[in-house]
Structure 1
Amino acid sequence: MTTVWRIGFCENPALPSSAILATLGFGSTLGHGRWHAIGAHQVVYAASTRALCQLEKRVHCNGANPKNQALMQLELPDDCLLMAASNWGLPTDWQSNEAATQALGLSWLASTSSLGLWVPSFVEPSELNLLINPAHPDYRRILIKIERHPFRFDPRLF
């Protein structure tokens, strides 16, 4: 299994995985991201490690320590297809060309060709995040384990 990590809103960690999965892409409908534009498709962002997950969440908190958050371990089935952004024409200037990364992400999402797309982290480009497509048929097969609820950041990070 491929395991990735996400910190996100989770009011009730006792809910079944399917109920939590149904809500994970909601945040992508509220604003643009590096790899998506608002309105077109839902997308779930996850990180390859717990530490990267914390960094990614932290840079999007605008100085606030968010409430009702959980550290989630997402286990993707062994037989699901995961692709790399380099296979989708990742431009060399991706860090300064948000329009290009959004176009790449939207093209991948619309294709539903794979459950996930590995993309470089803007926070730490040598690390990887995984975009997960809730519209892909394998999405419902993801298993979620709530590792920490509530998740609390180390206060020294704020």
Structure 2
Amino acid sequence: MVVYRIARSKFAKDLSGEGARLAGGRWNHKGTPVIYAAESRSLAALEALVHMSQAEFLIKRKVVTIEIPKSIIPKTIKTSDLPKAWRRYPPFFKLADIGTEWALEKKDLLLRVPSAVIPEEFNILINPLHPDIKLVKISRIEDFVYDNRLQNSMK
């Protein structure tokens, strides 16, 4: 399986989940490390973009390609498993409960979750606490620049 992250240049090689541990996220509470990735470059870009301010738009970024052995099957959460308004922002604590419990159980390396931005597509959460994290490899890091037209649509 190949997944993608968009990251600031200085964090491109980081697979610790530290950013999510410090800030928390839709699928994890503060204090729980998780690596957020997406099944496509475009979804990774969009997921990062929705959290950016105008000033952050100009920060240099990288697209990180991550390879995971095909033998590792992700646990999957379907939209039908979630509360009705699961896409809202700020997100329900229930979603962070789900992801935090998954991470702390250390049963599955991967959790496949629907994107709140495009619910028909999926993000992949990687558990840096899982013993198989050593099988997760960064295969490529490339410069990533958003098209300037996207900045025009930002507040």
Q: TM range, normalised to the smaller chain?
A: 0.7 to 0.9
Tell me how far apart the structure 1 counterparts of residues 114 and 11 of structure 2 sit (CA, whole Å).
Answer: 31
Deviation at 1:29, TM superposition (A): 2.3
Determine if the alignment matches structure 1 residue 156 to structure 2 residue 149: yes
Q: Which amino acid aligns with 1:10?
A: S
Moved more, 135-144 or 92-101: 92-101
Structure 2 residues not aligned, in runs of 5+: none
Deviation at 1:8, TM superposition (A): 0.9
Determine if the alignment matches structure 1 residue 99 to structure 2 residue 114: no
The size of the alignment, in residue pairs, is 147
What is the aligned-residue RMSD (CA, Å)?
2.1
Tell me how far apart the structure 2 counterparts of residues 93 and 157 of structure 1 sit (CA, whole Å).
Answer: 27
Moved more, 61-70 or 89-98: 89-98
Deviation at 1:9, TM superposition (A): 2.6
Determine the structure 2 residue equivalent to 1:36: 28
- Equivalent of 2:134 in 121, 140, 144: 140
Tell me how far apart the structure 1 counterparts of residues 10 and 36 of structure 2 sit (CA, whole Å).
Answer: 19
Tell me how far apart the structure 2 counterparts of residues 93 and 68 of structure 1 sit (CA, whole Å).
Answer: 34
- Equivalent of 1:45 in 36, 39, 47: 36
Deviation at 1:21, TM superposition (A): 4.2
Structure 1-normalised TM-score? Answer: 0.83
Determine if the alignment matches structure 1 residue 54 to structure 2 residue 45: yes
Q: Which amino acid aligns with 1:90?
A: L
Deviation string 1:90-118 (CA, Å, 9 cap, x unpaired) is 33442246111011111111111111100
Structure 2 CA distance for partners of 1:76 and 1:66, relative to 1, 3 Å: farther
Tell me how far apart the structure 2 counterparts of residues 71 and 54 of structure 1 sit (CA, whole Å).
Answer: 8
Determine the structure 2 residue equivalent to 1:127: 121
Determine the structure 2 residue equivalent to 1:70: 62
Deviation at 1:56, TM superposition (A): 0.3
Report the 3-state secondary structure (helix = DSSP H, G, I; strand = E; otherwise coil) of the residue aligned with 1:72.
strand
Structure 2 CA distance for partners of 1:83 and 1:66, relative to 1, 3 Å: farther
Determine the structure 2 residue equivalent to 1:17: none
Structure 2-normalised TM-score? Answer: 0.84
Tell me how far apart the structure 2 counterparts of residues 155 and 94 of structure 1 sit (CA, whole Å).
Answer: 31
Report the 3-state secondary structure (helix = DSSP H, G, I; strand = E; otherwise coil) of the residue aligned with 1:46.
strand
CA contact (8 A) 2:15 2:35 kept: no
Q: Which amino acid aligns with 1:5?
A: Y
Deviation string 1:58-79 (CA, Å, 9 cap, x unpaired) is 0111222153421011110122
State the identity as a percent: 33
CA contact (8 A) 2:74 2:109 kept: yes
